[in-house]
Structure 1
Amino acid sequence: MTILAKGTGDPLQLEGCGWDILAEQVSLPVAVIKQDAISHNANWMVNFAKESQVLLAPHGKTTMSPALFTLQLEHGAWAITVATVPQVSVAIVAGAKRVILANQLVGEYHMKQVASMLTDTDVELYCFVDSIANAHALGTFFTQHSLRISILLEVGVEGGRAGWRNLATIVQLVNVCQQYASLEVAGIGFYEGVIHGHNAEQRIATFVDSVIKTAADLRQKNVFSKALPIITGAGSAWYDVVTKTLNKSEQAQQFRFVIRPGCYLIHDTGIYQDAQQAVLSRSNLACDLGESLVSSLSIWAYVLSTPEPGVAIIGMGKRDVAFDAGMPTPELIYSPPSKQLCSLGGAVKVEKIMDQHAMVSIAFGCEVQVGDMICFSTSHPCLTFDKWRQIGVVERDWVITQTISTYF
């Protein structure tokens, strides 16, 4: 007996005419992305980066899919950003020649793995450093192994995530790094997404401006190993503010700016749709690029039960879809007997979600039957993707023509 993986169908049929979701040729629930949507989104962000005169290093943690990393690189991404050493290996296998480990490289085993990557491949790898202890550990290890590693000094904000807090004293960290010929200080990294509040935009701009000034001071002191040191930041919500602030600096021509948004490729109809609307309200450049980012990810699931009027139980739960930043949104309903595909228009709403079930309310006059298939859009694509080892790729007709693998 062969184990049936969720969201899959007959492998031989996939190689032939594909899996037709509406013809019930695949196990539900199934997660799918639209090919035209991801291609559009990849082009959109690359064009934004080009027009903003910055380089794009999309964060791979959203999809952790080599196929999608490759797509982003083919569309013009300068590098792939990741958060862990295993993720670095996925990016390299996907063909990335430059990888930013936007995190601290800690632990001897991790350092050994990175040393092997530097020895066995031609990857250009950067990692974040934000402490004297980590600088000593990296410097000692890579000196002993006769290797050089490029590091980015990470700076942060009070109450935020990692990052050296006091920019006025960052020379203390620099001095330790300069004790080791194995450590090449290639630039500065930051993450502005931890800054919140009603005046977040201004606080982010102020923070980014302070990062540039600090980098300029360090450049004058010949701290950096590159003629054009890297300054890298920008997640998926504030990339417009970051790029605008970077480019208006008098020192802009002295640095290489790299932005690291990740969710743009998949996008959603929840928190990142809201974030993108905010970008469009702030950025004329983003508006001028034409149609904005579009949600590419859907989950199809069966109606399992209609136990009482106005209520249905769906065969989709926390094991299948993100629920941390808003419930999935029912978009379409398909009736296999009648072969009718209809928009729900808000008539069905997810009220509660459990491990394997979602409870939905049904508006008066909307008919939902056991065996019907409902298509959901999502909020926060990262936490849907990590629930799937295989994700289908569809065209406009809901036929899965290929699958992509994920490595979370």
Structure 2
Amino acid sequence: MTTDAMDDNRRTSVLVEGTPPMLVLHVDALRNNVARMQDFCRSRGVDLAPHAKTSMAPYVIDMQLRSGVWGMTAASVTQARQLVGLGVRRILLANQVVEDRDVSWLSRHLAAGRSDDDFLCYVDSVAGLERLEGQLAREGGRHRQVGVLVELGYAGGRTGARSVEAAAQLARRVTTSPLVELRGVAGYEGLLPREGMVVPPGLPAYLQGLRDLLLACTRDGLFRQRPIVSAGGSSYFDFVVDHVGPRSFDFEVLTILRSGCYVAHDHGIYHETSPLDGRATGQDRLIPALELIATVVSRPEPDLAILNFGRRHAPTDDRLPLVLGVFEPDGSRSPLPEAYVRRVDDQHAYVVLPVGARVAPGDRVGLGISHPCGAFDRWREIPVVDRHYRPVDLASPLF
């Protein structure tokens, strides 16, 4: 690189013009991750409805939509409304809809939408189904049937019917309703207990249950169109494809993965568990796209530096941020071997350093995060940067 080019990079880099702490999104990594996931899905004949809650950033969502995804997944009706505002035509709401106002919006959306719009939500109990039906009936039936997926859960887990038998009974009950249509089955494997292992021991059995549920519903003739089976976070979507992918059945199914964190990936849990990184065997891997940049404000002890970020700036639910290195005057980042974040306060981080590390107040440190879903929502604006940390765009989460 010439001196002039380096000077130009320094003048325009967020490392010079920005004020840490700040979260940046590396555009090359983002594009790589979107392409890698689409390649994976196409090669296995499955579709993808990325979970929008990871970023809720129009810049990121637009990139995912342009890559050819089936649609987008939402965690709440509020998110679904924002996705509709962004022009998303297919939405999978991976949750139950029980609030009256949420059902009212859903009814109005289906009544006003285009014929090619699609909206799916979950049911996991007769009580929940009856609440949904009751409010839909009060809306006067001015909409087409609401597409629902019967959710299968597991003991001690989050939502979802607790057995294949209970889920199958609920599916049969759904088919008696004039207000909703059974479109398929769904589940979520990402929170299964890992018990100290990379892959949860109970994962195969759970996915087999999801397969058995779809087979039972098909055998009973409960579907009026090609059934949907949906699962797949960002850790074990290869297992989902193996157990409930279209090649696992002797009839047509639409398998929809809902992975969301893949788009930004991370230096933590997904780095360890993703089939396109920690468990990968090939070279086409996901790349962490988020980096937290913070400033050293004090070095009060030989092995301790205090940085100006805390739990307000980075997720800590899985683990603390990882120290990637300290930035040099030319904008390069030098590693800090053995340095780690010991703990965080609201606004400060305690970084343990090897004795003799050349780190001083005013230095800037790059850090990786774990669990992107807890990163985007802490920032109103996230610079999208190139490899020289020059801003190319801005991601603004809609939280």
TM-score (ref. length: structure 1):
0.88
Matches within 5 A, 1:39-78: 39-78=31-70
Deviations 1:226-280 (A, max 9, x none): 2x11000111111111101124865253311111111100011111100126876
How far apart are the structure 1 equivalents of 2:152 and 2:275? 28
Select which of 303, 307, 313 maps to 1:310: 303
Question: Cα–Cα, structure 1 residues 206 and 68, in superposed 2: closer, same or farther, change >3 Å?
Answer: same
How far apart are the structure 2 equivalents of 1:377 and 1:279? 15
Deviations 1:343-401 (A, max 9, x none): 12425321111100001122122111111111111111111111111111000111122
Select which of 114, 129, 132 maps to 2:126: 132
Question: Cα–Cα, structure 1 residues 18 and 74, in superposed 2: closer, same or farther, change >3 Å?
Answer: farther
The runs of 5 or more residues in structure 1 that have no matched partner are 1-16
Select which of 92, 112, 118 maps to 2:104: 112
Alpha-carbon contact 2:276-2:285 (below 8 Å) kept: no
1:193 alignment partner, SS class: coil
Tell me the equivalent position of 1:194: 191
Question: Cα–Cα, structure 1 residues 368 and 171, in superposed 2: closer, same or farther, change >3 Å?
Answer: closer
The one-letter code of the counterpart of 1:107 is: E
TM-score (ref. length: structure 2):
0.90
* Identical counterparts, % of pairs: 29
Matches within 5 A, 1:6-405: 20-23=13-16, 25-122=17-114, 123-144=117-138, 145-146=140-141, 147=143, 148-197=145-194, 203-226=202-225, 228-247=226-245, 251-276=249-274, 281=279, 287-288=281-282, 290-335=283-328, 338-339=329-330, 341-405=332-396
Deviations 1:45-78 (A, max 9, x none): 1111111111111111111112211111111211
1:332 alignment partner, SS class: strand
Deviations 1:106-148 (A, max 9, x none): 1101111222222333331000000111111222322343122
Q: Across the two proteins, how many residue pairs are aligned to each other?
A: 383
Deviates more, 1:25-34 or 1:189-198: 189-198
Q: Please report how far the alpha carbon of residue 195 of structure 1 lies from its aligned counterpart in structure 2 after TM superposition.
A: 2.1
Q: Please report how far the alpha carbon of residue 339 of structure 1 lies from its aligned counterpart in structure 2 after TM superposition.
A: 4.2
Question: Cα–Cα, structure 1 residues 404 and 205, in superposed 2: closer, same or farther, change >3 Å?
Answer: same
The one-letter code of the counterpart of 1:60 is: A
Question: Cα–Cα, structure 1 residues 150 and 302, in superposed 2: closer, same or farther, change >3 Å?
Answer: same
Alpha-carbon contact 1:130-1:163 (below 8 Å) kept: yes
Deviations 1:140-173 (A, max 9, x none): 3223431221000111111111111122243432
The one-letter code of the counterpart of 1:195 is: L
Alpha-carbon contact 1:140-1:180 (below 8 Å) kept: no
How far apart are the structure 2 equivalents of 1:279 and 1:201? 17
How far apart are the structure 1 equivalents of 2:182 and 2:166? 16
Please provide the CA RMSD for this pair.
Answer: 2.2
Alpha-carbon contact 1:142-1:149 (below 8 Å) kept: no
How far apart are the structure 2 equivalents of 1:19 and 1:121? 44
Question: Cα–Cα, structure 1 residues 70 and 373, in superposed 2: closer, same or farther, change >3 Å?
Answer: same
Deviations 1:26-55 (A, max 9, x none): 221111111110110001011111111111
The runs of 5 or more residues in structure 2 that have no matched partner are 1-9
Deviates more, 1:345-354 or 1:253-262: 345-354
The one-letter code of the counterpart of 2:137 is: T
Tell me the equivalent position of 2:6: none
1:139 alignment partner, SS class: helix
The one-letter code of the counterpart of 1:74 is: R
